[in-house]
Chains A and B, each alone.
Chain A
Amino acid sequence: MEEQSLGQRLHIDFPLFFGILVLCLIGLVVIYSAGGQDMNLVYRQAVKLLIALVGMVIVAQLPPAEIARWSFGLFLFGIVLLILVIFYGDVGKGAQRWLDLKIFRFQPSELMKLSVPMMVACYLADKTLPPRFLTVVIVCVMITIPVLLIAKQPDLGTALLVATAGFSVLFIAGISWRLLIFMGGVAAAGAPALWYFMHDYQKQRVLTFLNPENDPLGAGYHTIQSKIAIGSGGFYGKGWLNGTQSHLEFLPERSTDFIFAVFCEEFGMLGVLFLLCLYLFIISRGLYIAINAQHTFGRLLASGLTLTFFVYIFVNMGMVTGQLPVVGVPLPLVSHGGTSMVTLMIGFGIIMAIHTHRRFLSF
């Protein structure tokens, strides 16, 4: 066995760690501005960030085989919790998402963001790839059950991300294009049925997305104000702490879901290019790790998590720039909030684990 590097011994992938840290620091800087220069908010976010980083490092110590072994149990546990939420969940912002565990409140749907791709990757790793039709059907059921439970809460954003996580693993696993197109067709055909099951506010969001100026002070307000913030920022931005849209409270949810608008207003197009470079760096590192993983499970899971991370970014940016309906998806690693931060970091912890537990046989 060859000499292990520091990263290998600590089970930390330094390029990934560095990219994450820079993004998080940018997040703190923007939160300081968006939160009305409230240092307390920054401290609290920093504490959450530290906890999440510790979680990441701990998870990174687990060998991937161990993670694979936990997949099924964790998945079942998650499903049970989701069912519990329906009966015992706390209501927050009009939706039942939380389980009150006395010490902290817990969102089982967050757990599913990790356990669904884990479960799918674990299941597919044992099958011959590309997966056969029956395998695909089983995977679809595996994904659909938690997604429906989450969508019922209702939490469309998380349901979407969980579904993405599962299906991206399926895609990487080499599902045939024919099946993929067939599934897309089924989804398209099912969309009208989905409309029927949607809550009024969800329908409203979709309608508003189609024509935000229809209701400028109501449902369309978010999108219009965030477009104003981004557009008025211009190429160079208004400068840090100078964003009028956010500081004068025109912009809603400015330290959480709409933090990208604050970033755009203050740092402009130039800042966005820099931010996207950072994200691309993290994504390409994740995909690099996926390609170089030693087991199918690791390959599938690392690429699935990385793709989910990208979908996070894309959906958030699309929503803030008015190209996608407003679904509650934060900008990963930048938005204020502990839960999504912890989930993401654990995801990166898993990716690091996949990378740092490789065994190199020396002949």
Chain B
Amino acid sequence: MAKEFTLKDQDHESSLITRRVYISAFIILILIIMVISRIFYLTVMQHEHYTTLSKSNRVKITPIAPIRGLIYSRDGVILAENKPTFSLGVIPEQIDDIDETITKLKKIVLIEDSDIDRFNKARKKKRRFENIPLRLNLNKEEVALFAVNRHRFPGVDVVAGLNRHYPLGEKLVHAIGYVARIDGDDVKQLDESNYSGTTHIGKLGIEKSYESLLHGDVGYQQVEVNAKGRVIRVLDRTAPKPGENIHLTIDLSLQQIAIDALENRRGAIVAMDPRNGDVLTFVSSPGYDPNKFVNGIDSKSYNLLLKSKDKPLINRVIQGKYPPGSTVKPFMGLIGLENGVRVNTDETWCPGWFSLKGHAHRYRDWKKQGHGHTDLHKAIMQSCDVYFYILAYELGIDRIFEGMSQFGFGQVTGIDIGGETKALMPSRKWKRKALGQPWYPGETLILGIGQGYYLATPLQLAKATATLANKGHIIRPRLVSSTSNSITNEVNAIPNHSENKVTLSSSAYWDDMIASMKDVVHGVGGTAWRSGLNAEYNFAGKTGTAQVIGIAQDKEYKKEEIAEEFQDHALFIAFAPVEAPRIAIAIIVENGGGGSRTAAPIARKMFDHFMNNRDLINKG
């Protein structure tokens, strides 16, 4: 070693190394300056840019769904509420073996395979720390049972939420409708920002048509999230504005009377206040349970409803198209008087049938032996068909169409829920367009008794009846009378809507017709005289019996021989009290047989209740 050292030039090597160290130091300085300039570029020159990025990294805006407004009946009963529900939520992040946990949970609460399917689907869409519902709608016992065992299930907990609930179930479903989960079609129409936190939307009835009021305005919170998206804290919060409460015109006690009187038969009952259009009763029977639709009805139950012979999903009040039968006679009579085709005292001979000249076809009267000499009063009271065959024939289709249209037939009533049908008020024009045929005189004849192509909805009949009771003053039916603020309780009345008037050249026409209708129930020989017996007030009505199938010329209608679904519909329109009408009713009992026997007694029960509780009703 020592030998080699002597060969080395120590001073030369030392200065060489020192030089290289200085060169290194110089390079180091240059590189440090590079680092500093890079840091300067990032922290000073690009500061704004990265501050923005940092903020958008950590601050997220999450919506808070507003609480949906409640729906009340006229008498203050809650018809649609937000019910706290408890569901079993699972946070996958906190669980080691989810399958095992579910197996253990099954021993405590009922978990069906469909629950597990839905859970697994939701799991794929959500983050691992998010709470995913495993079982919805736990009952109190299940909640308690789980609470006792909770320590055994880390990562599983009971989650409270609000669920739309309709305590009355099927009783008012056709008026109120229901909410259900927002689907693809809804998304296209709604204001996405306002619905960003909302899961349900009104699909039918009031829930749909008053959606914008019921929903309210979304609130927001600014939250700080970490890299995994977990909320660390709330930075700022804008409270949502809850939806307005809605007060229906429906009188629940009267609704119940109507439902009871209908005795589970198929049909529809509408009662409205002719003064302001308030719909007091809205029965479409049978109904169905809207609660099943809120969180999605299973396809089996839905198919059952869809295929049911009773067609519960049809809203008979506004969508049911029925031949109005003899209930059109008062309107026909008024049209006849107004057009000068008849005067009150004109008499028609009724032998029990009528034939057009040169035709063999006999148009039969419901009374085989005929009504004999018949004036308008008697024709209404006893519902003489021959009188109205001839009247209709003499009026002609065009004048009938024009007159009936004035009473709202063939048009929507304008009620404040959607889905209404116009039904059908036939005309020459319509027939040519729809069937490509000219109008035949025989078809005019049967329009006189509300048969043929003629179709009307129960609500159209109720509205026309109210118009008659109002002596021509047309009022639009409505289901909502007011809204109220759910925080301040401030009430906002919704004005009722008057439409055009049906004007007749003599007001005596109205009075005479109303008097005739009064005698339908109160007169000797009136078709609904049984229903008018011992009433403490006067009411006016008109029975109707609509044929569902044609009866051959040589056959008689025998109820016993005809299957139930082909039996006649029973109809009745009425209003009370005669002197100052406050309620107008239209009743249709499908395949109920005669209007006087089946439909009129229902009206009597409702009137009795209404008139005896008038103070209560007026309060609303």
Q: Are B43 and A303 in contact (CB under 8 A)?
A: no
A interface residues, how many (CB within 8 angstroms): 48
Give chain B residues whose Cβ lies under 8 Å from the Cβ of A317: 35, 38
Give chain A residues whose Cβ lies under 8 Å from the Cβ of B17: 129, 172-174, 290-291, 296, 299-300, 303
The residue that B227 contacts in the complex, of A172, A232, A250, A268, with Cβ under 8 A, is A250
The residue that A230 contacts in the complex, of B14, B42, B226, with Cβ under 8 A, is B42
User: Known: A249-B227, A317-B35, A318-B35. Contact between A227 and B42, CB under 8 A?
Assistant: yes
Using a CB-CB cutoff of 8 Å, which residues 205-219 of chain A contact chain B?
A: none
Q: Does B53 sit within 8 A of A, measured CB to CB?
A: yes
Q: Are A276 and B57 in contact (CB under 8 A)?
A: no
Closest to A229 in B: B54
Q: Are B32 and A276 in contact (CB under 8 A)?
A: yes
Q: Are B50 and A232 in contact (CB under 8 A)?
A: yes
The residue that B24 contacts in the complex, of A247, A249, A287, with Cβ under 8 A, is A287
Query: Shortest Cβ distance from B207 into chain A, in angstroms?
Result: 41
Q: Are B31 and A231 in contact (CB under 8 A)?
A: no
Closest to B226 in A: A248
B interface residues, how many (CB within 8 angstroms): 44
Q: Does A339 sit within 8 A of B, measured CB to CB?
A: no
Q: Does B94 sit within 8 A of A, measured CB to CB?
A: no
Complex alpha-carbon distance, A230 and B46, angstroms = 10
**B 31-52 binary contact with A (CB < 8 Å = 1; else 0):** 1100110111011101101110
Query: In the complex, which of the residues B7, B40, B46, B57 has the most CB atoms of chain A within 10 Å of its own CB atom?
Result: B57
Complex alpha-carbon distance, A231 and B42, angstroms = 5
Q: Are A228 and B21 in contact (CB under 8 A)?
A: no
Q: Does B121 sit within 8 A of A, measured CB to CB?
A: no
Q: Are B24 and A233 in contact (CB under 8 A)?
A: no
Q: Are B35 and A228 in contact (CB under 8 A)?
A: no
Q: Are B44 and A235 in contact (CB under 8 A)?
A: yes
Using a CB-CB cutoff of 8 Å, which residues 254-290 of chain A contact chain B?
A: 264, 268-269, 272-273, 276, 280, 283-284, 287, 290
Complex alpha-carbon distance, A48 and B459, angstroms = 87
Complex alpha-carbon distance, A300 and B44, angstroms = 40
Q: Does B13 sit within 8 A of A, measured CB to CB?
A: yes
**B 63-75 binary contact with A (CB < 8 Å = 1; else 0):** 0000000000000
Give chain B residues whose Cβ lies under 8 Å from the Cβ of A174: 13, 16-17, 19-20
**B 227-256 binary contact with A (CB < 8 Å = 1; else 0):** 110001000000000000000000000000
Using a CB-CB cutoff of 8 Å, which residues 17-31 of chain B contact chain A?
A: 17-21, 24-25, 28, 31
Complex alpha-carbon distance, A272 and B38, angstroms = 11
Q: Are A172 and B226 in contact (CB under 8 A)?
A: no
Query: Shortest Cβ distance from B442 into chain A, in angstroms?
Result: 78
Q: Does A171 sit within 8 A of B, measured CB to CB?
A: yes
Complex alpha-carbon distance, A249 and B8, angstroms = 58
Complex alpha-carbon distance, A168 and B4, angstroms = 24
Give chain A residues whose Cβ lies under 8 Å from the Cβ of B32: 276, 280, 314
Complex alpha-carbon distance, A171 and B24, angstroms = 9
Give chain A residues whose Cβ lies under 8 Å from the Cβ of B44: 234-235, 269
Q: Does B225 sit within 8 A of A, measured CB to CB?
A: yes
Query: In the complex, which of the residues A228, A290, A291 has the most CB atoms of chain B within 10 Å of its own CB atom?
Result: A228
**B 356-391 binary contact with A (CB < 8 Å = 1; else 0):** 000000000000000000000000000000000000
Q: Are B36 and A268 in contact (CB under 8 A)?
A: no
Q: Does B428 sit within 8 A of A, measured CB to CB?
A: no
Query: Shortest Cβ distance from B22 into chain A, in angstroms?
Result: 8
Query: In the complex, which of the residues B16, B39, B224 has the most CB atoms of chain A within 10 Å of its own CB atom?
Result: B39
Using a CB-CB cutoff of 8 Å, which residues 150-200 of chain A contact chain B?
A: 168, 171-174
Query: Shortest Cβ distance from B185 into chain A, in angstroms?
Result: 33
Q: Are B43 and A129 in contact (CB under 8 A)?
A: no
Complex alpha-carbon distance, A264 and B36, angstroms = 12
Q: Are B31 and A314 in contact (CB under 8 A)?
A: yes
Q: Are A272 and B50 in contact (CB under 8 A)?
A: no
Give chain B residues whose Cβ lies under 8 Å from the Cβ of A300: 17
Q: Are A232 and B39 in contact (CB under 8 A)?
A: no
Query: In the complex, which of the residues A171, A232, A233, A234 has the most CB atoms of chain B within 10 Å of its own CB atom?
Result: A232
Q: Are B227 and A272 in contact (CB under 8 A)?
A: no
Give chain A residues whose Cβ lies under 8 Å from the Cβ of B19: 174
Complex alpha-carbon distance, A299 and B13, angstroms = 10
Q: Does B58 sit within 8 A of A, measured CB to CB?
A: yes
Give chain A residues whose Cβ lies under 8 Å from the Cβ of B31: 310, 314
Q: Are B39 and A272 in contact (CB under 8 A)?
A: yes
Give chain B residues whose Cβ lies under 8 Å from the Cβ of A172: 17, 20-21, 24
Q: Are A303 and B24 in contact (CB under 8 A)?
A: yes
Q: Are B14 and A299 in contact (CB under 8 A)?
A: yes
Q: Are B227 and A230 in contact (CB under 8 A)?
A: no
Give chain A residues whose Cβ lies under 8 Å from the Cβ of B53: 228, 231-232
The residue that A321 contacts in the complex, of B18, B20, B35, B227, with Cβ under 8 A, is B35
Q: Are A284 and B54 in contact (CB under 8 A)?
A: no
Query: Shortest Cβ distance from A36 into chain B, in angstroms?
Result: 10
The residue that B35 contacts in the complex, of A234, A249, A276, with Cβ under 8 A, is A276
Closest to A300 in B: B17
Q: Does A126 sit within 8 A of B, measured CB to CB?
A: yes
Q: Does A130 sit within 8 A of B, measured CB to CB?
A: yes
Query: Shortest Cβ distance from A181 into chain B, in angstroms?
Result: 14
Q: Does A115 sit within 8 A of B, measured CB to CB?
A: no
Give chain B residues whose Cβ lies under 8 Å from the Cβ of A340: none
Q: Are A269 and B43 in contact (CB under 8 A)?
A: yes
The residue that A248 contacts in the complex, of B7, B49, B227, with Cβ under 8 A, is B227
Complex alpha-carbon distance, A272 and B20, angstroms = 28
Query: Shortest Cβ distance from B49 into chain A, in angstroms?
Result: 7
Closest to B47 in A: A234
Q: Are A231 and B7 in contact (CB under 8 A)?
A: no
Query: Shortest Cβ distance from A24 into chain B, in angstroms?
Result: 21
Give chain B residues whose Cβ lies under 8 Å from the Cβ of A276: 32, 35-36
Q: Are A269 and B38 in contact (CB under 8 A)?
A: no
Q: Does A37 sit within 8 A of B, measured CB to CB?
A: no
Q: Are B38 and A231 in contact (CB under 8 A)?
A: no
Closest to A310 in B: B28
Query: In the complex, which of the residues A129, A173, A264 has the most CB atoms of chain B within 10 Å of its own CB atom?
Result: A129
Give chain B residues whose Cβ lies under 8 Å from the Cβ of A225: 57
Q: Does A128 sit within 8 A of B, measured CB to CB?
A: yes
Closest to A250 in B: B227
Complex alpha-carbon distance, A290 and B18, angstroms = 8
Q: Are A264 and B21 in contact (CB under 8 A)?
A: no
Complex alpha-carbon distance, A65 and B17, angstroms = 19
Q: Are B58 and A248 in contact (CB under 8 A)?
A: yes
The residue that B57 contacts in the complex, of A233, A250, A268, A318, with Cβ under 8 A, is A250
Q: Does A335 sit within 8 A of B, measured CB to CB?
A: no
Give chain B residues whose Cβ lies under 8 Å from the Cβ of A230: 39, 42-43, 50
Query: Shortest Cβ distance from A281 into chain B, in angstroms?
Result: 12
Complex alpha-carbon distance, A227 and B41, angstroms = 11
Q: Does A245 sit within 8 A of B, measured CB to CB?
A: yes
Give chain A residues whose Cβ lies under 8 Å from the Cβ of B40: 269
Give chain A residues whose Cβ lies under 8 Å from the Cβ of B18: 291
The residue that B43 contacts in the complex, of A248, A264, A314, with Cβ under 8 A, is A264
Q: Does A244 sit within 8 A of B, measured CB to CB?
A: yes
Give chain A residues whose Cβ lies under 8 Å from the Cβ of B55: 232
Query: Shortest Cβ distance from B463 into chain A, in angstroms?
Result: 62
Q: Are B36 and A273 in contact (CB under 8 A)?
A: yes
Give chain A residues whose Cβ lies under 8 Å from the Cβ of B7: 128
Q: Are B39 and A296 in contact (CB under 8 A)?
A: no
Those 8 A-B pairs whose CB atoms lie nearest each other, nearest first: A231-B50, A232-B54, A248-B226, A249-B227, A269-B43, A174-B16, A250-B227, A232-B50
Contacts A174-B17, A234-B43 known; 5 new A-B pairs at CB < 8 A? A231-B49, A235-B44, A284-B25, A317-B35, A321-B38
Which residues of A pack against B, CB within 8 Å? 126, 128-130, 168, 171-174, 225, 227-235, 244-245, 247-250, 264, 268-269, 272-273, 276, 280, 283-284, 287, 290-291, 296, 299-300, 303, 307, 310, 314, 317-318, 321, 323
Q: List 25 A-B contacts (CB under 8 A).
A: A128-B13, A168-B24, A172-B24, A173-B17, A227-B50, A230-B43, A231-B43, A234-B47, A244-B224, A245-B58, A248-B58, A250-B57, A264-B42, A268-B43, A269-B44, A272-B39, A276-B35, A283-B25, A287-B25, A307-B24, A307-B28, A314-B32, A321-B35, A321-B42, A323-B38
